[in-house]
């Protein structure tokens, strides 16, 4: 397909859908690439979505996108393109919008209900509304959306205020990556226990969630460090031997207590499912090549946490290789944040958590603990009732 041809390409629905034309224009302006609407196959979330194309009319790769910027006229990276593309398209489809001029507060409230039914966290809903707010401000400035007393962007801004997501929560949650809830983590572990018991992925997810391991700490573990009779895993800094250094060097060394249930999973993995690598390493987490690296660990965790509905530009469901394109996916560090929040919620002192996850109490309080309002209230409940 030539560049000229691809710029005019559209689906039949696009011919009569002004909102889709407007979204295409917006994405083309921000990505500086040609954008075409395409049908998606077997996608439970979106029936159609815009696809960015390179100069030859092929699906654009990461390198085809300009670097992302934060100013109003900045260009989209591929990840940002996907976030805006999927969020706005989801809004248009679920609310039946064919012309941005017809959008009212009713559609904004309707989209909030859609996200509530899918049990999105407040931080996730805030991120999606922020995306829509930026888009509608652009549309209003270009006379594509109502500019009267009830601007859609102002309605969205008010809804974000109603969600009461603080700046501190956003900082802890991150922009695209955020911690998942305890309920979602337990759901993932339940699926692993049923379908992939004692797999490498289950061990990775379980140990980060149970212990709060950093990537370096988890990847450094050898099979010989697992001590079932003592109920611990030894964490040792031996970069020359293991090829990985603990973040805090020798100060990161410690023994961590492991529950009996978690230990059973780890020992079952070692005895029955661990891949024997060709280099004969004693590493706990392995592929056929040897000790896995950070990229493999990230892909595994992102793959486990993706929502299951998102697809790539060809309509295929996301795999481990591109799972990070799902707005719901998280990485190992985000799961560590969830683990620390859960530990605190269960009543562990900051000092105990500090020794377990190898971070100072002050750092934990400032950067890792991120309870919701409901979780924070539960923590205070016992002490408050005791003094009332």
Residues 58 and 111 in one domain: yes
Residues 31 and 140 in one domain: yes
The answer to whether residue 53 sits within a structural domain is: yes
Residues 142 and 215 in one domain: no
Q: Are 277 and 286 in contact (CB under 8 A)?
A: yes
Residues 169 and 190 in one domain: no
For residues 298 and 332, give the distance between their C-alpha atoms in angstroms, rounded to a whole number.
Answer: 6
The answer to whether residue 192 sits within a structural domain is: yes
pLDDT value for 369: 66
Residues 153 and 189 in one domain: no
The answer to whether residue 373 sits within a structural domain is: no
SS3 sequence of the chain: CCHHHHHHCCCHHHHCCHHHHHHHHHHHHHHCCEEEEEECCCCCCCCEEEEEECCCCCECCHHHCCCCCCCCCCCCCHHHHHHHHHHHHHHHHHCCCCCHHHCCHHHHHHHHHHHHHCCCCHHHHHHHHHHHHHHHHHHHHCCCCCCCCCCHHHHHHHHHHHHCCCHHHHHHHCCCCCCCCHHHHHHHHHHHHHHCCCCHHHHHHHHHHHHCCCHHHHHHCEHHHEECCCCEEEECCCHHHHCCCCCCHHHHCEEEECCHHHHHHHHHHHHHHCCCCCCCCCECCECCCCECCHHHHHHHHHHHHCCCCCECCCCCECCHHHHHHCCCCCCHHHHHHHHHHHHHHCCCCHHHHHHHHCCCHHHHHHHHCCCCHHHHHHHHHHHHHHHC
Token pair listed for 371 = 């309870």
Q: Which of 252, 209, 216 is nearest to 354 (CA)?
A: 252
Residues 94 and 223 in one domain: no
Instruction: Mark which of 293, 312, 334 sits at the end of a domain.
Output: 334
The answer to whether residue 343 sits within a structural domain is: no
Residues 126 and 209 in one domain: no
Q: Quote the distance between the C-alpha of residue 138 and its chain's center.
A: 26
Residues 169 and 210 in one domain: no
The answer to whether residue 44 sits within a structural domain is: yes
Residues 14 and 150 in one domain: yes
Q: Are 265 and 206 in contact (CB under 8 A)?
A: yes
The answer to whether residue 348 sits within a structural domain is: no
pLDDT value for 114: 87
CATH number, residue 245: 1.10.443.10
Instruction: Mark which of 131, 147, 173 sits at the end of a domain.
Output: 173
Residues 235 and 190 in one domain: yes
User: pLDDT digit of tens for each residue in the chain (388 aa)?
Assistant: 333 343 334 444 444 689 999 999 999 998 889 999 988 765 455 678 899 998 888 888 877 887 544 444 457 877 788 889 989 999 999 999 999 999 999 999 999 988 887 767 677 788 899 999 999 999 999 999 988 777 899 999 988 888 875 554 444 444 434 568 888 899 999 999 999 999 999 999 999 999 999 999 999 999 999 999 999 999 999 999 999 999 889 999 999 999 999 999 999 999 999 999 999 999 999 999 999 998 899 899 989 998 877 777 677 788 887 787 777 788 898 899 899 989 988 889 999 999 999 999 888 887 776 666 676 677 677 667 766 6
Q: Is 297 exposed, middle or buried (0-12, 13-18, 19+ CB in 10 A)?
A: buried
Instruction: Mark which of 334, 362, 382 sits at the end of a domain.
Output: 334
pLDDT value for 303: 92
pLDDT value for 148: 77
Length of the chain in terms of residues written: 388
The answer to whether residue 236 sits within a structural domain is: yes
Residues 41 and 187 in one domain: no
Residues 62 and 194 in one domain: no
Q: Which of 352, 320, 357 is nearest to 336 (CA)?
A: 357
The answer to whether residue 197 sits within a structural domain is: yes
How many folded domains does the chain comprise?
Answer: 2
Q: Which domain holds residue 231?
A: 182-334
Token pair listed for 307 = 């929502």
């Amino acid at each position: 397909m030539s560049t000229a041809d691809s710029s005019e390409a559209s689906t039949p629905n696009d011919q009569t859908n002004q909102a889709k034309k407007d979204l295409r224009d917006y994405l083309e302006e921000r990505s500086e690439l040609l954008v075409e609407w395409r049908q998606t196959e077997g996608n439970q979330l979106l029936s159609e979505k815009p696809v960015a194309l390179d100069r030859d009319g092929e699906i654009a790769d990461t390198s085809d996108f300009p670097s992302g910027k934060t100013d109003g006229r900045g260009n989209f990276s591929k990840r940002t393109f996907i976030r805006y593309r999927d969020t706005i398209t989801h809004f248009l489809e679920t609310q039946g919008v064919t012309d941005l001029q017809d959008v009212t507060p009713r559609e904004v409230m309707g989209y909030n209900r859609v996200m509530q039914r899918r049990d999105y966290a407040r931080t996730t809903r805030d991120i999606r509304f922020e995306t829509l707010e930026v888009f509608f401000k652009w549309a209003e400035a270009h006379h594509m959306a109502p500019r009267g007393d009830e601007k859609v962007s102002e309605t969205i801004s008010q809804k974000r205020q109603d969600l009461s997501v603080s700046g501190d929560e956003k900082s802890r949650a991150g922009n695209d990556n955020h911690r998942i809830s305890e309920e979602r983590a337990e759901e993932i572990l339940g699926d692993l226990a049923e379908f992939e018991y004692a797999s490498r992925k289950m061990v990775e997810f379980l140990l980060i969630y149970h212990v709060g391991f950093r990537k370096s700490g988890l990847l450094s573990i050898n099979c010989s460090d697992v001590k079932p009779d003592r109920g611990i895993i030894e964490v040792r800094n031996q970069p020359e031997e293991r090829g990985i250094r603990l973040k805090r060097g020798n100060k990161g060394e410690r023994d961590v207590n492991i529950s009996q249930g978690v230990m059973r999973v780890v020992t079952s993995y070692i005895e029955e499912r661990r891949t024997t690598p060709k280099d004969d390493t004693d590493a706990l987490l392995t592929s056929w090549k040897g000790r896995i690296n950070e990229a493999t660990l990230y892909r595994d965790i992102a793959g486990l946490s993706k929502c299951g509905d998102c697809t790539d530009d060809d309509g295929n469901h996301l795999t481990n290789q591109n799972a990070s394109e799902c707005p719901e996916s998280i990485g190992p560090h985000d799961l560590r944040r969830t683990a620390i929040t859960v530990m605190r919620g269960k009543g562990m002192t900051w000092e105990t958590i500090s020794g377990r996850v190898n971070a100072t109490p002050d750092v934990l309080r400032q950067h890792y603990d991120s309870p919701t309002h409901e979780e924070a209230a539960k923590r205070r409940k016992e002490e408050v009732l005791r003094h009332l």
